[in-house]
Amino acid sequence: MLQKIVYTIFGVAIALLFFPRAARDSNQQNQLTVLGLSTGSYPASPELASSVTPPNLSSKAAMAYDLDSGTILFTQNFDEQLPIASLTKLMTAMVAAKNSQLDEAVMVKHSDVKVVGSSMGLVPGERISVRDLLYGVLISSSNDASLALANHKSPTEEFIAAMNEEAKRLNLQSTKFSNPVGWDYADNYSTAHDLSLLVNEFLKYEELSRIVRIKEAELRSLDGKYSHKLTTTNKLLIDNDAVTGIKTGFTSQAKGNLVLRIENHGRSIITIILGSDDREGDSKKLLDWITQVYRW
């Protein structure tokens, strides 16, 4: 019980430190910004309903919060800089969507397909839309699609610079990008806290938010010559109807990473798992604990 009280006080202190709010009055009509999202009023915060020991996770860092109110539900090493693998692609998708039209044609280059890891099977010389490449990036976590978007209008280095400029704009103080894929470079990292801000910005893009809900898709090149079948890398999106995204990541150095959006009693919960030996298992443990401890 004492552990729970100390833990709860720590969580509240963190919430006040990073997301100060004078009140959580649901009747107040002033504009509110919570973790990067704007709402028309102060949504009611979830309340502690029981004192269950926090879950024992294998992950190096974790965070969970109520998307609507911004209430932090759980933190574990939330400010530790870690490699984030393909969670990098959340920023890749945002920068591509921000700087291109979704129906814009992209010519696939030879350098785009010379990748290891996940691929949607792009072919050099193929013309495909920005939208369909975003499907590849966000559904099947395709490295070739990420490179095709990064190389579309300018050299990859300029695209990476735009990723870091966007990180700076979002005040991601402990984040740096050095590639658009999420490869294990020493200078490609973030924190659970920074990722919470990134996720909330990502969800402002309606098309991107819609894509991460898709389990399977079949795409064609603009001339219809090439077909690409995609399956989500997010196992929990397939297994649990309450899950509505968002992104997976894995490399040998980063280990298992997973950001989930879960619908719960009409509210959305975001869970972030970094550096896990069992990203799905840790996510389930965290969600089970949240549903036992909090009441909406």
- Interhelix angle 88-99/156-169, nearest 10 degrees: 100
What pLDDT, in 10s, does the model give residues 232-267? 999 999 999 999 999 999 999 999 999 999 998 889
What pLDDT score was predicted for residue 52?
Answer: 87
Selected residue with higher pLDDT from 49 and 73 = 73
Contacts of 91 (CB under 8 A, 6+ apart): 163, 166, 167, 177, 198
Q: Please choose, from the candidates 223, 221, 247, 225, the residue with its C-alpha nearest in 3D space to the C-alpha of residue 235.
A: 247
What pLDDT score was predicted for residue 42?
Answer: 60
Mean pLDDT for the chain overall: 88
Instruction: Categorize the per-residue pLDDT at 99 as very low, low, confident or very high, splitting at 50, 70 and 90.
Output: very high
What pLDDT, in 10s, does the model give residues 132-161? 999 999 999 999 999 999 999 999 999 999
Contacts of 237 (CB under 8 A, 6+ apart): 213, 215, 243, 244, 245
**DSSP 3-state assignment of 33?**
strand
What pLDDT, in 10s, does the model give residues 17-45? 444 332 332 222 222 233 444 444 567 88
Percent of the chain with pLDDT over 70: 86
Q: Please choose, from the candidates 230, 198, 46, 39, the residue with its C-alpha nearest in 3D space to the C-alpha of residue 122.
A: 230
Whether the full predicted model's pTM is greater than 0.85, yes or no, is: yes
What pLDDT score was predicted for residue 41?
Answer: 53
Instruction: Categorize the per-residue pLDDT at 58 as very low, low, confident or very high, splitting at 50, 70 and 90.
Output: very high
Selected residue with higher pLDDT from 7 and 224 = 224
Helix (H) or strand (E) holding 255: strand 255-264
How far apart CA 31 and CA 193 sit, in angstroms, is 23
Is pLDDT of 277 > 50?
Answer: yes
Domains and CATH numbers, the chain: 1-296 (3.40.710.10)
What pLDDT score was predicted for residue 51?
Answer: 86
What pLDDT, in 10s, does the model give residues 114-139? 988 899 999 999 999 999 999 999 99
CA dist list (Å): 272 to 23, 165, 218, 261: 26, 23, 28, 9
What pLDDT score was predicted for residue 264?
Answer: 87
